[in-house]
């Protein structure tokens, strides 16, 4: 059987220019590392949009005739009927391009739907060179890479990565698989669909209808696996089978849609899994996003002082903003880099989870972990080192929820010495954040002292020592 052409081809001379533009479009997007292309039919033209690390952006507009030809060529390559105008359709195609003396295989996953205004085509671009990516080449901080390697040395357990579509979850998981793919492990992947083809790994497609994650996972358990990658845990059945696989001596990797590392725990519990069973197997959770990378090939970015609003945002994120500078937002970017939030489940964390702890209960334990940073804190290091823009970081990370390194050390020592409890440490971070919102910056020691004053007054009120004339006066004193 003959191999399909490397690129889209023109069936007549009148198509040549448009087909050449279509091939150049996919080539340029591959070079730029763009993961998603949206083609939207309008009344008199087509609009092309691309997903960057900071969201969808308009790429260009093309004429009605050219856009319709793009649609027809994509459908033909995917064996989708060009006459269908009602039912959504899925397909897949492969293109091959020469880049830097290498042949790049670009797999394109296609979904075509029909809105009231016309066709809506979404193409997911999968450069197969990412199938062989190494953990060291992802650009992770060294302590993150070493911690992940340590977690992967465990013979069994569950490791989860969370993040939205296009946040690099699959690439990170395959980097981990390549670390484990040394010939001594039987590695199976179950995906909808398989994105990257890797030699030495057994990969299975599921479609969610005729064959579900749960069904294929149960079958995979009978194939003597050492490592199992599940494309996504999205329901109770898959979550329970994944936990069962980890309980019976397998290392299980998967993704979950959630907003943060700690929120992933809530997501799993919301599926209805047993907290004690989850605690037994959960080794670690990562939340991941992608940040545009500052292009240093055109020069080193000018470092400037942040605005007052930017400084306040950093303060709320638990990042000291005094005497720091950030890159000039006018400096161009090229490529992308991962930003991670890593939470490890040790003995204390597993005990809390077994008792039903959720995100708010685990936050005090996270604050005490020396390697734990929120996405904002992790990304701010890239900003301060001239590797990313603060404006981009603010789009992928929310403010609040963290304590800076110095305050972490203070709180950790106080908890270890028994002077304060974990809940008091968490309360202190929350109070410090509330004060920052009011424009009041207090060191953590002053916040702890203020807490004690409030607790003392509250006890005196409860005992009847203080009597207020109205509720408002009481709240003013206590707040």
- pLDDT tens string, the chain, 479 residues long: the values are 467 889 999 999 999 999 999 999 999 999 988 889 999 999 999 999 998 877 899 999 999 999 999 999 999 999 999 888 889 999 999 999 998 888 889 999 999 999 999 999 999 999 888 888 999 999 888 888 999 999 999 999 999 999 988 888 999 999 999 999 999 999 999 998 888 889 999 999 988 778 888 899 999 999 999 999 999 999 999 999 999 999 999 999 999 999 999 999 999 999 999 999 999 999 999 999 999 999 999 999 999 999 988 988 888 887 877 889 999 999 999 888 999 999 999 999 999 999 999 998 898 888 888 778 899 999 999 999 999 999 999 999 876 555 555 555 566 666 666 777 766 766 776 677 667 656 676 777 777 778 777 777 666 656 665 555 555 544 554 45
Same structural domain, 144 and 263: yes
User: Cα dist. 79→76, 83, 89, 241, 387 in Å?
Assistant: 5, 12, 10, 35, 43
pLDDT at residue 434 in the model: 67
CA atoms within 13 A of residue 299's CA, in its CB half-sphere: 8
Last residue of a domain, one of 79, 105, 127: 127
pLDDT at residue 462 in the model: 63
Helices (H), 249-330: 261-270, 275-281, 308-316
d(CA 433, CA 401): 8
Last residue of a domain, one of 99, 127, 155: 127
Query: Of 232, 242, 245, 248, which is closest to residue 273 (Cα–Cα)?
Result: 242
Same structural domain, 151 and 114: no
d(CA 70, CA 85): 16
pLDDT at residue 193 in the model: 85
Same structural domain, 121 and 137: no
Same structural domain, 71 and 202: no
pLDDT at residue 403 in the model: 52
Query: Of 279, 425, 402, which is closest to residue 341 (Cα–Cα)?
Result: 402
Q: What is the tally of structural domains in the chain?
A: 3
Same structural domain, 338 and 443: no
Same structural domain, 48 and 109: yes
Q: Can you give the CATH number for the domain in which 286 is found?
A: 3.40.50.300
3-state helix vs strand vs coil in the chain, percent to 5: 45, 25, 35
280: in domain: yes
Supply the range of the domain harboring residue 172: 133-295+332-371
Same structural domain, 217 and 338: yes
Task: List all residues 6 or more positions away from 172 whose beta carbon is below 8 Å from its beta carbon.
Answer: 138, 161, 286, 288, 338
Same structural domain, 285 and 362: yes
* Radius of gyration, CA atoms only, the chain: 26
Query: Of 125, 102, 104, which is closest to residue 51 (Cα–Cα)?
Result: 125
């Amino acid at each position: 059987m003959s191999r399909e052409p490397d690129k889209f081809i023109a069936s007549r001379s009148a198509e040549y220019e448009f087909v050449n533009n279509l091939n150049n479009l996919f080539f340029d997007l591959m070079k730029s590392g763009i993961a998603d292309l949206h083609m939207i039919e309008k009344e008199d033209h087509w609009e092309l949009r691309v997903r960057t690390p900071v969201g969808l952006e308009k790429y260009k507009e093309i004429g009605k005739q050219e856009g319709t030809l793009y649609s027809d060529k994509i459908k033909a390559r995917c064996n989708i009927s060009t006459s269908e105008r009602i039912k959504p359709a899925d397909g897949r195609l492969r293109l091959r391009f020469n880049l830097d003396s290498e042949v790049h295989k670009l797999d394109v996953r296609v979904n075509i739907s029909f809105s009231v205004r016309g066709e809506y085509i979404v193409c997911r671009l999968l450069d197969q060179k990412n199938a062989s990516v190494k953990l060291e080449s992802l650009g992770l901080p060294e302590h993150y890479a070493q911690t992940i390697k340590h977690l992967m040395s465990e013979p069994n357990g569950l490791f989860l990565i969370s993040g939205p579509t296009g946040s690099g979850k699959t690439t990170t998981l395959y980097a981990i698989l390549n670390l484990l793919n040394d010939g001594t492990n039987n590695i199976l992947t179950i995906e909808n669909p398989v994105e990257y083809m890797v030699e030495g790994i057994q990969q299975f497609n599921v479609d969610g209808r005729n064959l579900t994650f749960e069904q294929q996972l149960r079958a995979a358990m009978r194939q003597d696996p050492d490592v199992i990658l599940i494309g996504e845990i999205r329901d109770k059945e898959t979550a329970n089978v994944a936990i069962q696989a980890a309980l019976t001596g397998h290392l299980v990797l998967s993704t979950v849609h959630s907003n943060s590392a700690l929120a992933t725990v809530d997501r799993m519990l919301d599926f209805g899994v047993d907290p004690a069973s989850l605690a037994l197997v959960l080794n670690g959770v990562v939340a991941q996003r992608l940040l545009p990378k500052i292009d240093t090939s055109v020069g080193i970015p000018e470092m400037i002082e942040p605005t007052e609003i930017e400084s306040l945002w950093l303060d709320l994120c638990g990042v000291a903003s005094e005497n720091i500078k950030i890159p000039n937002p006018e400096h161009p970017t090229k490529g992308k880099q991962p930003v991670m939030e890593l939470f490890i489940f040790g003995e204390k964390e597993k005990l809390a989870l077994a008792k039903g702890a959720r995100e708010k209960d685990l936050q005090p334990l996270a604050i005490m972990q020396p390697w734990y940073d929120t996405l904002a804190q992790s990304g701010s290091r890239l900003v301060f080192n001239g590797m990313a823009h603060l404006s981009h970081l603010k789009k992928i990370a929310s403010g609040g929820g963290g304590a800076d390194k110095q305050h972490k050390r203070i709180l950790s020592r106080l908890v270890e010495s028994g002077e304060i409890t974990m809940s008091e440490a968490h309360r202190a971070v929350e109070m410090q954040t509330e004060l920052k919102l009011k424009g009041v910056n207090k060191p953590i020691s002053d916040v702890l002292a203020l807490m004690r004053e409030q607790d003392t007054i509250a006890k005196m009120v409860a005992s009847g020592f203080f009597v207020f004339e109205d509720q408002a006066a009481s709240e003013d004193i206590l707040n």
